[in-house]
Homo-oligomer: A and B are copies of this chain.
Amino acid sequence: MGLSSRSAVAIHALTMLARWDHSLTSAEIADSLASNPVLVRRILGSLRDADLVWATEGRGGGWSLARAPHEITLHDAYTAVEEGPILSRHAHPPSDACEVGRHMQNLLETEFRDAEQAMEERLGRTTIAHLVQQVLAAERAHALPK
């Protein structure tokens, strides 16, 4: 399989918040995602715990960015909502009686960690501000009929 789609939801929501410079409700974000408000609040809750957004309760409440869009990377969104390693290690520790089994865990740990870091490093290179730019550019291109 792969990781959950929570990162996709998180990035989508952050981009919406950056695109329009006012607070949005979980229902509005859920509409854009064709999903439902509770799911959105769960994920935005994780983003709040990571200090990427904040919410005001009560009537007229909603969600806002806690940082400038160019200071939020896709990696920030990713780590806020996803936990644990990407590449699963051995389900059980291998046999200590085997020469290979004795060392594979350590070796794999190094290799897998490096590989995961490469991915995360790449995610850290794109900011929410960059995505907003691209959305605006795509929208502008679409506005020109020909």
Per-residue interface assignment for chain A, residues 14 to 53, with 1 indicating a CB less than 8 Å from any chain B CB and 0 otherwise? 0110010000000000011111000000000000000000
A81–chain B nearest beta-carbon distance, Å: 11
Q: Which residues of B contact A100 (CB under 8 A)?
A: 12, 15-16, 19, 32, 135
Given A103-B139, A119-B119, A122-B118; A34-B2 close (CB under 8 Å): no
Chain B proximity mask over A89-125: 1 for CB below 8 Å, otherwise 0: 1111111011111111011100100111011111100
CB pair B122 A115 closer than 8 Å: yes
Residue of B nearest to A5 (CB): B88
In the complex formed, the residue of B with least CB distance to A106 is: B138
Instruction: Given A103-B139, A138-B103, decide whether A93 and B34 contact each other with a Cβ distance below 8 A.
Output: yes
